[in-house]
Structure 1
Amino acid sequence: MQLVLNILLVFILINAVLKFSFWKLWQVAAAAVLSVVFLFWAYPYAMEQSQVTIQNALETPSILSNIAVLVTIEVALCIVFCFSELKGLFFAEKNRWNTFLKACPALLMFPVLFYLLTQSFFYFSGMDFFTITMLFSAGSALFIIGGAWCIQAFFPERDFRIEVHLLTSLFIGILGLIITSSSNLIYVPKSEPVSFKFLGIAFIIFIGIFILGMMINRWYWKLKR
């Protein structure tokens, strides 16, 4: 289950960046600043957490049920946004709901950042907590801004990004159900915190498959023409 949890975390962050790719640059920068403010606000609470506390929380059925509700709300908002955006793209129909859904940030990104911050404290146990928070916040801001910019630059087709955003949201919903349906979630011991190496490899594999699919799609339509 830890493997599923790691994959879920990766896709939540990827889905958040996909959502930010529909925003303007200053809006993405504002989201990055908001994430930095959140991390500095939350880091005193993250310092108080322990592996046992987090493990007990993830094994509590009531907390798992709350996580399932949050995942469901997040996925529902993303799906409605995708259909609303497609309607506006193909039929040129815009409404206030579309504006609200587009402006709504990825809600699950914040608990994921908090969780990863706590894991950073465990992983880099020899460093000062404030230094780790500064580096983690800077990395998070660069990931949000750089990721959104790269997606906009390399994949300018809005319909393609909407489709990927929809599929990623559905995948997150499935993973969320798998995670939250088990009250016996296996958590890594203190000697083996979350593997950032695995998260990086999973992210690189996803980007590679993403680019490969886009290239195959373009070649297909070029040959068809």
Structure 2
Amino acid sequence: MEYVIHLLALFIALNFLLKVGFYPRWGMWTVAAGCAFFAWLVTPWMTEQSKTVVAAFFASRPQMLNLSVCVTLEAAIMITFCFDCFAKMRTRNTAFKQAVTLFLKLYPGILIGGVICYVLALLLFTFPGIDFGSLSWIAAGVTFFVVGAGSHLLRYAIGDKPLRLEVLFIVNIFIVILSIIATGY
């Protein structure tokens, strides 16, 4: 079960980095700064959690079902973004369609917050003697660098926009499959 959660967190992070790669450069670094600020803010709360609380969360079937619904909804939004990017040839471009397109373009994904919390919890349990004040600054700096540089790296490594959309689509299909597997345990 733990491996499925690790894999799901990895795919959610990859999904987030691929989606942020569609933003302009200033947008990528703004999102990176927002993630770093979130990591800095949430570190004191994560230090209060015990290993049994985190393990009980993932062992609870109702919690995992709720998490699966959230993961599936976000994957559905990202899949809709992929289809919307390919649907440039519209017969009628209504205000509703434009509003949905704007929302899909601006929405980076909120599940990265859960992944950041999960990684912080793993770091806290792996390095128990580290100072919590310095951990929050280190986590914020690393998060800023990983999100900013990772989205740039994926953008230039994959390159072509239609290919990045395909990879984003496939990653979201894997996310849905992994969320179904995670609730089956």
Larger RCO, structures 1/2 (Cα 8 Å, 6+ apart): 2
Q: Tell me the distance in 2 between the aligned counterparts of 1:113 and 1:55.
A: 16
Structure 1 residue 157 corresponds to structure 2 residue 160: yes
TM-superposed CA distance for 1:46, in Å, is 0.2
Q: Tell me the distance in 1 between the aligned counterparts of 2:113 and 2:12.
A: 10
Larger radius of gyration: 1
TM-superposed CA distance for 1:96, in Å, is 2.4
TM-score when normalising by structure 1: 0.76
Conserved? CA contact 1:5–1:179, under 8 Å = yes
Conserved? CA contact 2:77–2:104, under 8 Å = yes
Structure 1 residue 131 corresponds to structure 2 residue 140: no
Residue 64 of structure 1 aligns with which residue? 64
Deviation digits for residues 10-65 of structure 1 (CA, Å, limit 9, x no counterpart): 11111100000100111111111111121122112101111111111111122112
Superposition map of 1:15-164 within 5 A: 15-88=15-88, 91=89, 95-164=98-167
Conserved? CA contact 1:120–1:132, under 8 Å = no
Residue 183 of structure 2 aligns with which residue? 180
TM-score when normalising by structure 2: 0.92
Structure 1: which amino acid aligns with 2:113?
Answer: F
Residue 195 of structure 1 aligns with which residue? none
- Percent identity over the alignment is 28
Structure 2: which amino acid aligns with 1:102?
Answer: K
TM-superposed CA distance for 1:2, in Å, is 1.4
Give me the CA root mean square deviation: 1.5
Is there any run of 5+ residues in structure 2 with no aligned partner, and where? none
Residue 6 of structure 2 aligns with which residue? 6
Q: Tell me the distance in 2 between the aligned counterparts of 1:11 and 1:61.
A: 21
TM-superposed CA distance for 1:180, in Å, is 2.0
